[in-house]
Amino acid sequence: MLTLPLEQCVLTPPLGSSRRFLKFPGGERLQVDDPAVLAFFDDTLRSHLGLQWVHFIESHWRLVAACVAGLVVCVWALMAFALPHFAKKIALATPAGVMDRISDDTLKLLDNRFFALSELSPGRKAEVGKIFSTLCVDFVPSQGCNLVFRKGGTLGANAFALPSGLVIVTDELVDFAENNDELAGVLAHELVHVKERHGVRHVIQQAGVFMLISTLLGDMTSLTSLGSALPMMLVESGYSRQFEQEADENASRYFLEHDRSVQPYKDMLYRLTKDQQLPGVASFLASHPGAEERLQAIEAVERGD
């Protein structure tokens, strides 16, 4: 006959409808089926309290349904609020060296897959560059930025803002603009992306919780490696609805605050919408929200809504 203190025994946890055993130090075990006896051992040993709660919940379908609903709400809140909040903080704290590396890799990939050397005249480049330099001082005076020109090819009329402050403008977009004020609108839009670090935030939010945890723990190599996905994100879907709207609204406010009309930028967006059946012309609009919604948001800013 085996006699030993009950505290030396281990009761297996409640898992669904599986059988439970009382385990002894020597490896022997005793199957326990009587609910009253199991309740006595659970109460005496005070073990597996967390799993006991789980077992209690899974035994009541209403509680299970409530837990599933709560999980859905928590995941939604994480993705809708917590992830964008922390993504912004991480992006603003990202070292300049990391942003430079992401931007360099992005430009190399775009050059290899899509772009060709610009065919704009030196005079035209200098003219657009002067507009860009003035806007850069106003939008990101502490960071600095650079403008490069490329022939867009299949990407057509397009502009991209990279995290380091590098803005790429295609020849097709410059040719499509009817005047420099229209180009200024596009450049201001892209510089808002730079200022708010939308590119890095976009990478983090697209990568989800794994990316958030890695960067919070200081693993900046994960951010750099995932940054290689930025080119295709920009080409295929542009920025998110929130980022595009923020860029449009902030650029519009800038012009209004400087007593300049937003109409040229609206005109360009309208023409791009009108001509998006032409191959490559409306690439600048390949993002969410659509051009019509973007125009409405700009008009709301003009009204002071």
User: In this predicted structure, what is the pLDDT of residue 31?
Assistant: 81
**Amino acid (1-letter code) at residue 278:** L
Specify the 3-state DSSP secondary structure of 11: strand
Residue 105: its pLDDT value, please? 84
Most confident of the following: 76-80, 105-109, 271-275: 105-109
For the purposes of burial, counting CB atoms within 10 Å of the CB of 39, is it exposed (0-12), middle (13-18) or buried (19 or more)? exposed
pLDDT surpassing 90 at residue 211: no
Per-residue model confidence as pLDDT tens digits over 128-171: 999 999 999 999 987 889 999 999 988 888 898 988 899 999 99
Which sequence spans correspond to the domains of the chain? 6-58, 78-303
Neighbours of 42 (CB within 10 A): 18
pLDDT at 131: 96
Give mean pLDDT, residues 270-279.
62
Q: How many residues does the chain have?
A: 305
Is residue 303's pLDDT more than 80? yes
pLDDT-based confidence at residue 281 (cuts at 50, 70, 90): very low
Question: What beta strand segments (E) does the chain contain?
Answer: 10-11, 20-23, 29-32, 116-117, 146-151, 159-161, 166-170
Backbone φ and ψ of 74, nearest 5°: -65, -45
Question: What pLDDT, on a 0 to 100 scale, did the predictor assign at position 234?
Answer: 61
pLDDT tier at 236 (50, 70, 90 boundaries)?
A: low
The chain-wide mean pLDDT, for the chain, equals 79
Q: What is the pTM of this model?
A: 0.70
